[in-house]
Amino acid sequence: MAQTLDGIRILELGQLVAAPSAGRILADFGADVIKVEPLDGDPLRKWGKLAPSGSSWWWMTQSRNKRLIAVNLKTSAGQEIIRKLVSQVDVILENLRPGQLDRWNLGYDQVSRLNPKIIYVSISGFGLTGPYRDRAGFGNIAEAMGGIRYITGFPDRPPVRTGVSLGDELAALQAVIGALLALYKRDHGPSQQAEHVDVALTESVLSITEALIPEYVNASIVQERTGNQLLRAAPSNTYATRDNRWIAIGANSPKTFHLLMKAMDQEDIVQDERFRTNSGRVRHAAILDEIIAHWTSQYALEELMEILTQIGVPAGPVMSAEDIVQDRQVKARALIEHVPGIGHEEVGMLGVVPRLSRHPGHIRWSGGSIGQNTDEVLQEFVQASSEDLIQWREAGIIR
């Protein structure tokens, strides 16, 4: 079956999370992603729990559907190999420190002369301009400086992080959006010129902070941490159940608030002056949450889910990885897939998101061993001979 990005070729020069996550998404939808690793491999291979093959389970997902080559970019010969490749690809994804690829003659200015139609996507901590341009930037720094850490957590405790690399994953999404926008314009515009997509981790985090900046710029309001409460609408929180589980309830529209009070057999609360409007419910959210928490503590989680689902109040359990994999909806949507790994190893992972009805994405294989496709890629695109490959390998240029 044809896929959405069939015929699009991408060269991934990034490591760890942001650029490789973007490459994974594009590869899921049919792009031919050629990932370039250093000779000792992407550091992500050793992040987290390791599979029997010696690479992390995370790596298996992150590098699925990609062709893997290992080239020593610190050598002039390695740089020349990549220059021959860039003339034959549509997109470059990179998240190395600003200026590094320029020093290797693989920056946007050099590459766009070799390939005038290239879409060059650069992901960095702070973007390619400004006084912070040359600073190293990781996802946790972006989350701190992008505002999300300051507003995450409880007011009487230090700021906390989410349990994933949020800054990197948001930057990956922005990189995919930028690449697809640039490809569309290139292929449907009159000029078909190269484009440099500049993605900053910090700005990617800022892009999801909703009213944080407008409220300060226009009304000098500094948003503070509010725990699990939704700051601008109520009630919306996480509540303990009788069986020591947790349930999230979102009843922050007039209709769902009325339905929740009906389910709780406390419909008189709807007429209480403190709770008749959303602004009132927000001001008195702590009181409202105490009332709701007292009610949820009398029921087991499954009982609450049955009550709230029947009456039409949005609710859901706080789920662990085990809960998610066993969930009926996850199973019905076939969200967990098992695909071929290294050797005879089968690897389970989350499936492709989003879903397209006519040209869906597919997982064809998991991330593999270092340099497993080096020979085939260099023979295909660089016209490397067997003798070239032997000489380059002996010289420490490829693996």
Active-site positions read 168
Region for 192 from its dihedrals, namely left if φ exceeds 0, alpha if ψ lies in -120 to 50, beta otherwise: left
* 248 contacts 318 by C-beta, under 8 angstroms: yes
Which tokens hold the place of 364? Answer: 């064809």
Q: How far is Cα 62 from Cα 45, in angstroms, rounded to an integer?
A: 10
Residue 59 CA, distance from chain mean position: 14
**Dihedral of the alpha carbons of 295, 297, 302, 306, in degrees to the nearest 10:** 0
Contact residues for 174 (Cβ-Cβ < 8 A; gap 6+): 199, 203, 204, 207
**Among candidate residues 338, 360, 357, the one with its CA nearest the CA of residue 348:** 338
Rg of the chain in Å (alpha carbons): 25
**Among candidate residues 141, 283, 199, the one with its CA nearest the CA of residue 18:** 199
Q: How far is Cα 279 from Cα 51, in angstroms, rounded to an integer?
A: 51
